[in-house]
Structure 1
Amino acid sequence: VAKRSTCLRRQVGAILVKDKRILATGYNGAPRGLRHCEEVGCLREDGSIPSGERHELCRGLHAEQNAIIQAACHGIQIAGATLYCTNKPCVICSKMIINAGIAKIYYEEGYNDPLAAQMLAEAGIELERIKR
């Protein structure tokens, strides 16, 4: 799923699963119908902004956000689902994950975001790193 990403900096994929069924997928990239970063460039890259900072300057959505949106667009209930993601969720995605009722997150890589980790723990959402 991450290979579909159009981000110049990081290719991230997310899969929502419940009862051994894939409910929705998402990858990071520009909103539907807009030009991709590959075409217009990246403000964060141009400004040498470190990964995980100044998300408001990014024209793209995160993989987790796109997976949640896809489920909503298709009327798929994701409460109690498990999220598999190539990256540990940021604080913005963590808030969406909490409100969507996602129960557990497996991720491969991650940047240190103490607030995201604290919020997920407070919400009782399990967070587990997996290694290939």
Structure 2
Amino acid sequence: MKSKYVRAFMTCAETFADLSHAERLKVGCVIVKDNRIISIGYNGMPAGWENKCETLEFFNEQGLQQVQPFLKTKPEVLHAESNAIAKLARSSESGEGAVLFTTHAPCIDCAKLIYQSGISEVYYKNPYRDDKGVKFLLKSEISVKNSG
């Protein structure tokens, strides 16, 4: 794919990230086939749910009180990639041979969905907190490129 299209579609993913109601981290995703967008997604609550993605926590996972409260993402939040793939599944389009653009590298669960949907190439701009998703995609022979 030409670099001007990579930049354009990544800009689209960033624009959709801005639509997220998440406060801690906004992630956007665009799925493209034959240079046209076939699905979009951003991280957020399931359709029809209150758009509050985080809770304010005062204790860490070990039960220790924190000096500063922090935002913790609710387990119900859908990732941008899974949201885009779910929308794609409800459409007449196929993910086979498509290209996915996401503002952040996919987690392992989203990477498995990417593989199962037939997407053949992934571009991301920012790293995820671990690289398990990227490693899975590479092991699955899906092209992964950091466009950042």
In the superposition, the TM-score normalised over structure 2's length comes to: 0.75
What's 2:30 paired with?
A: 15
> For residues 1-132 of structure 1, what are the structure 2 equivalents within 5 Å?
1-37=16-52, 42-43=54-55, 46=57, 57-131=74-148
In the alignment of these two chains, the number of paired residues is 122
Shift of 1:119: 1.2
Letter in 1 for 2:27: V
* Identity over aligned pairs, percent: 34
- Decide whether the 8 Å contact of 2:42 with 2:79 is kept in 1: yes
Larger Rg: 2
In the superposition, the TM-score normalised over structure 1's length comes to: 0.84
Deviations 1:88-109 (A, max 9, x none): 0000100100101110110110
Letter in 1 for 2:120: A
Structure 1's consecutive aligned runs of 4 or more residues displaced over 3 angstroms after TM superposition are none
Distance 2:80 2:146 in 1: 17
Shift of 1:74: 1.6
Shift of 1:59: 2.1
The worse-fitting range, judged by mean Cα deviation, of 71-80 and 17-26 is 71-80
Letter in 2 for 1:10: L
Unaligned runs of 5+ in 2: 1-15, 62-71
Deviations 1:1-41 (A, max 9, x none): 1111011211110000011111000000000001111xxx6
Shift of 1:112: 4.2
Distance 2:60 2:17 in 1: 23
Other structure's SS at 2:38 match: strand
- Decide whether the 8 Å contact of 1:82 with 1:103 is kept in 2: yes
Q: CA RMSD in A?
A: 1.9
Q: Is the strand fraction higher in 1 or 2?
A: 2
